[in-house]
Amino acid sequence: MAREKMLLDRIASFGGQGPGRYEVSGAENLDALMESVRRNIARLLNARHGMSEAMPDYGLPALTDLTVGSKTYVEEVQEAIRVAVEKYEPRLRRVRVTKVSDEADAHRLGFRIDASLVSQSGEHRVWYETLVTGSGEFEVSD
């Protein structure tokens, strides 16, 4: 399961017990891999350009920097998500982002990320749904 986890996930799983307690397994856990990718996408989409000096383009541009109210606003957000995921989530290939309509609330902005997840056993079709909350944060579910 260690190969499915990002470095910070592996460090956190030590739980202060030292590396001798950490078991490395060659078996793949696809659910753990998908969850690790979901958490990484959530961190990525909630970061904004300029927050990291080492990677100034990590995350998305500030949503207020995009032309709110323009006809292309949704397309600009979709493209920003696609570019960020393709660049900073190497476990995903052939990333496609589409707007998700919420019939109950037309003012909610949501997107679906469809991609191929690369794993030890091959490529798997996956999708993650995002929703922009009232505070401007992205929630990501699979």
User: pTM for the whole thing?
Assistant: 0.75
The per-residue pLDDT for range 48-58, each reduced to its tens digit, is 998 888 999 99
Residue 19: is its pLDDT beyond 50? no
Nearest residue to 98 (alpha-carbon basis) of 86, 84, 81: 81
Instruction: Find the mean pLDDT for residues 18-24.
Output: 45
Would you put residue 122 in left (φ > 0), alpha (ψ -120 to 50) or beta? left
What are the domain boundaries of the chain?
2-9+19-46+81-141
Between CA 91 and CA 30 the distance in angstroms is: 12
Residue 68: is its pLDDT beyond 50? yes
Q: Where are the alpha helices (H) located in the chain, listed in sequence order? A: 7-13, 30-45, 73-88
